[in-house]
Structure 1
Amino acid sequence: MEQEIYYEDYEVGAERVTIGKTITEADVVIHAGQVGDFFPHHMDAEWCKTTEFGQRIAHGTLTFSVGVGLTATVINPVAFSYGYDHLRFIKPVFIGDTIHTKVTIKEKKDHKKRANMGFVTETLEIINQKGETVMVADHLLLCQKKNS
């Protein structure tokens, strides 16, 4: 779905919540192959039994990728991702956990050099099926202003 959402359309404090996705063993194995991270924390079920978590954990980059991907429901041709700040992994995500993302508009700032643009910061909270926050990050959007 495509929808033009301009800088002025974003309201600080506005929230939206995504659908959920269950993290599977296939997700972990495929992600390991894609990024080359075969650490035992993700791949060795027997070794993980000896750790504080007692089981394999999903890669932080997998949690980030899925959490961000769940937010991608609208194609906005007047806003572009500028990057992510303050990324933190709060709790582990395990195979079988279902995560969803809560997006909250945190702040808006004018672009210092481009009067027709502004920055919108969204706080992303990745939350598991128990209601626990497992990851947080700030997403910066570079947005076009109306009538510019």
Structure 2
Amino acid sequence: MLLSTQLEVTANGETLKCEHVLWTGWPDRGVPDNYLATLRLVRKMAPFSPCLVHCSAGIGRTGTIVGLDLCQKSLQAGEKVDMHEVVKELRKFRHGSVQTDVQFVFMHAVILKLAENRKAATKDQVKPFFDEYTAYVATRQ
């Protein structure tokens, strides 16, 4: 579940308005059940700069969201996405980003769901991945 709160911070006579989004359905060191909610969150934060993303340790859920944002921006620019390279780049700036193997595989699942939604892949084409993914995640959480 995503909870959104509007905040106003005032200091020295200046007021900054910001939105705080709290995702209560994403377990620590795990992955959420909803791929589309993840895509919606990444799309929602895309126009904002600066944007602060954080979780308990600042590497698992945070790294996954920031990595997916990087993937989406690369895809929008017509570039190929190599998830290993995305995580490698993240880890140059934040050691341990994308904390677990399940989070790494989840990133693939989200991008494949995006491809399916954009009609770049059919449901039949991605079904074998999602069948294996579902079974894998069940053993890891």
TM-score for both structures, normalised by structure 1: 0.25
Which structure would you say has the larger Rg?
1
Which structure features the higher share of helix residues?
2
